Amino acid sequence: MNCHDKAHRLIHTYLDGDLSKAEEKILSSHLEECEACQRHLYELKRTITLLPSTEQVSAPADFTKNVMQKLPAEKKRVTYLRMWKAHPLVVSAALLFIFMISGVFATWHQDSELVVSKQEGLMIEENTVIVPADVTVSGDVYVKNGDLRIDGSVDGNVTLINGRLIEDEPRQGEPLMASVGEVSGELKQIDQFFDWIWYQVEYVFQNVFRF
């Protein structure tokens, strides 16, 4: 019996294609004299040849479609980007339409009041916003419908809409110096209608396409 067990192990090793030369000899000499093990090997081989005869089936007709419908919603950003790539004109028109509805145009025409971001240290004289010398304003400065003079410095971005950046006249006797005080961030001037539109577009994009 023990000898059969060993032969059975060898038979499986043989079926896996792992038999060494030496083992092959042992197995074949055992098979020559043992009918039970011959029969065993025959049955195993036959089983293996029977297995693939289970018939072929294919996935149901709408399989792919059904899976696609069940996938979790894709990140918005990509959908918009793909839409933009596929239909740039449609998307541009749609954006323009959104602006019209959302009153960007109206805002532009009606609104002429001075608007300033609230920060300590900013001074306002009539229609001019001033960052006094020796003052560092922290955060982004936003001025709309007014002019801006920076004598001190701004630790952030500066956005000027529909206004001018007033540059100091160089005083006599002094060398010509950079008239604008320091701005650590970006200085952006928007004083034309289409720039304004573009600014809005960027704003919309940054928000819509954020992850």
Partner 1 sequence: MEQVIRDKIRQVKKGDQSAFEDVIAFYQDKIYRHCFRMIGNAHEAEDIAQEAFIRAYINIHSFDDRRKFSTWLYRIATNVTIDHIRKRKPDYFLDDKIKGTEGLDMYSRLISNTPSPGEEAESRELQRYIHQEITRLPPKYRSIIILRYIEEFSLQEISNTMDIPLGTVKTRIHRAREALRKKLRYV
85 near partner 1, rule: CB under 8 A: no
Q: How far is CA 22 from CA 1, 40, 155, in A?
A: 21, 21, 83
- Least CB distance from residue 54 to partner 1, whole Å? 5
Q: In the complex, what is the shortest distance from the CB of residue 91 to partner 1, in angstroms, rounded to a whole number?
A: 17
For the beta sheet containing 187-190, the strands, ordered from the edge strand earlier in sequence to the opposite edge, are 115-116, 141-144, 158-161, 187-190
Binding of partner 1 by 1 (CB under 8 A)? no
The answer to whether residues 114 and 145 touch, using CB atoms and an 8 Å cutoff, is yes
The interface region with partner 1, picked from 15-23, 111-119, 169-177, 202-210 by CB under 8 A, is 15-23
3-state secondary structure at position 6: helix
Q: Which amino acid is at 196?
A: W
Among residues 2, 5, 16, 120, which is the contact residue for partner 1, using CB under 8 A? 16
Does the footprint of partner 1 cover residue 15 (CB under 8 A)? yes
Q: Between 35 and 120, whose beta carbon lies closer to Zn ion?
A: 35
Compare residues 87 and 188 and give the one whose CB is closer to partner 1: 87
C-alpha Rg value of the chain to the nearest Å: 40
Site residues for Zn ion per CB under 5 A: 4, 7, 34, 37
Q: Is residue 208 part of the contact set for partner 1 (CB under 8 A)?
A: no
SS (H, E, C) 144-186: ECCEEEECCEEECCEEEECCCECCCCCCCCCCCCCCCCEECCC
DSSP symbols for 55-108:
PP----TTHHHHHHHHSPPPPHHHHHHHHHHH-HHHHHHHHHHHHHHHTHHHHH
Query: Which one of partner 1, Zn ion, none is in contact with 83 (Cβ closer than 5 to 8 A by kind)?
Result: none
Taking CB within 5 to 8 Å according to partner kind, which of partner 1, Zn ion, none is near residue 7?
A: Zn ion
Quick check: 124 binds partner 1 (CB under 8 A)?
Answer: no
**Residue 15 interaction partner, one of Zn ion, partner 1, none, beta carbon < 5-8 Å per kind:** partner 1
**Binding interface with partner 1 (CB under 8 A):** 9, 12, 15-16, 18, 40, 43-44, 46-48, 50-60, 63-64, 66-68, 70-72, 74-75, 77-78, 82
